[in-house]
Structure 1
Amino acid sequence: MPKRFVLRAGAIVAASALVVIGAAGSASAHVTVSSPDAKPGGYAKLVFRVPTESDNTSTTKLVVSLPTDHPFASVGAQVKDGWKVEKKEEKLPAEVKVGDVTLTKAITTVTWTATAGGIPPNDFDEFALSVGRMPEGVDSLSFPAVQTYSDGEVVKWADVAKDGADEPEHPAPTLKLTAAITPVAATTSEGTSDTLARWLGGAGLLVGLLGLAFGLRPRRTAVAAPGEKQ
């Protein structure tokens, strides 16, 4: 096979890979939400990552909507230099019991507005909330967001992904909740290991005692046969 053909084929493959990687990167550049400590029934830090998907304009405003069917009794917003933060409280459609508290109103939106600069083109920033308590018996929570650019463009991240369907163009930031795991297996393993260690230790002690007993057993004196020296 000619060397030139091999080099050309390799270049085409590499270029194709870069195109695919670039497409995947641009497709994933959405407003997203994550948490390092969210679990049902507890308090959590929610982190919203906001990329500026523009070559010449900045992100100047972010509005995050909080769930009203699973409202939070407590909402604390991160204070950031260069940003003004506002929380809006509204009456809930129906009373919701959260732990020992029954809520009739709750924080429904949190807004960060840039006071200087905003998020530059092709860069990103993160905005955090401290919320609680997290609902129980829920697999995920959606936080629709509205992103405003310096040229007036508004992008609504509010589409809900459907099972089996492709990701929508502007998906709502969604947080997956994982139930707290009780370390039952670890406790069982430790108990089993401890029992095994004790059993082996006892067996070793028994073998040692048997060895000692055989070592202390009186030796028989050999009786020389007639004509043999002892």
Structure 2
Amino acid sequence: MSSSRPAVRRLLTTALLTTALLAAVVLGAGTGTASAHVEVSAPGATAGTGPVTVTFTAESESAAGIAAMRTQLPPGIAPPQVTLASGPAGWVLTPTPDGFEVGGPPLPPGSDAEYAVTVAALPAGVTELAFPTVQRYADGGEDAWIEQAAPGAPEPEQPAPVLTVAPGAPAPASTASPAQATTSEAPAPTTEAAPATTPGAEVTDDGVAGGWIAGLAVLAAVALAGGLWFRRSRAGR
């Protein structure tokens, strides 16, 4: 009987290691963040000054090429104050009621979109400017990078690009004119466009996660039962 002890120990060790590995995989999948973002930058920019060149970089996470980027401007910047500085060949800037859209011939699949706009002047007294952006692909799919994190909260799944600039002169006592004010709502995806992640894909992901969890529970039960059996067999000797 004593010769069976090494085999039992190896079985229990293998079961416990497998359970720990699966647990790490499941937990990692549950706490993951979005794989791509839209980034915005303007090196050396100062609040209340202009003109300023603001550069956007949008990562591609679709099999289709990026065709357009629609952005909502922060309060204090009006659509007529923004012009296209550079971008992919054939792309143009079109003002929208609350911002602008830059788009044109779809980029090759997997290619990131890089473009820059010139802002006539940044608002005074503001050092963080959010630019909620909807990324549209050639197949009609969209990624909505429009969520803004609350103070002290973790980064949201679909974060809006935020530009941080140096503080400048304080904002004037009067607020911006109605013509310069922008809406508080983020740019909504077009109704005819399909979302980048379809409901079917979400169901599939949930099913895979459920399978992992079920397998993890079975292995944990096997490890527990083996451990109890081993302890009882030793106690009986």
Range into which the TM-score falls when normalised by the shorter chain: 0.5 to 0.7
Q: Deviations for 1:113-146, whole angstroms, at most 9, x for unmatched residues? A: 222x41521x313110111311121121111111
The structure with the largest strand share of the pair is 1
1:165 aligns with 2:153: yes
Percent identical across equivalent pairs?
31
Q: Is the 8 A contact 1:145 1:173 kept in 2?
A: yes
1:136 aligns with 2:142: no
Q: CA deviation at 1:158?
A: 0.6
Looking at structure 1, the residues matched to 125 and 163 of structure 2 have their Cα atoms a distance apart, in angstroms, of 14
Secondary structure at 2:114's aligned position in 1? strand
Q: CA deviation at 1:79?
A: 4.3
Q: 2:47 aligns with which of 36, 40, 52?
A: 40
Q: Normalising by structure 1, what TM-score?
A: 0.53
For these two proteins, the number of residue pairs brought into alignment is 144
1:74 aligns with 2:81: yes
Counterpart code for 2:76? H
Q: Is the 8 A contact 1:160 1:172 kept in 2?
A: yes
Say if 1:30 and 1:119 are closer, same or farther in 2 by CA, change over 3 A: farther
Q: Deviations for 1:174-197, whole angstroms, at most 9, x for unmatched residues? A: 11121259xxxxxxxxxxxxxxxx
Looking at structure 1, the residues matched to 163 and 87 of structure 2 have their Cα atoms a distance apart, in angstroms, of 23
**Structure 1 segments unaligned to the other structure (5+ residues):** 1-15, 91-107, 182-230
Looking at structure 2, the residues matched to 126 and 84 of structure 1 have their Cα atoms a distance apart, in angstroms, of 11
Q: Identify which of structures 1 and 2 has the higher relative contact order when contacts are C-alpha pairs closer than 8 Å and 6+ apart.
A: 2
In the alignment, what sits opposite 1:50?
A: 58
Q: CA deviation at 1:28?
A: 5.8
Say if 1:171 and 1:119 are closer, same or farther in 2 by CA, change over 3 A: farther
In the alignment, what sits opposite 1:59?
A: 66
The farther-off stretch of 164-173 and 73-82 is 73-82
Secondary structure at 1:120's aligned position in 2? coil
Q: CA deviation at 1:37?
A: 2.7
Counterpart code for 1:145? T
Looking at structure 2, the residues matched to 27 and 81 of structure 1 have their Cα atoms a distance apart, in angstroms, of 25
Q: Is the 8 A contact 2:55 2:116 kept in 1?
A: yes
Supply the RMSD in Å over aligned alpha carbons.
3.1
In the alignment, what sits opposite 2:227?
A: none
Q: CA deviation at 1:27?
A: 4.2
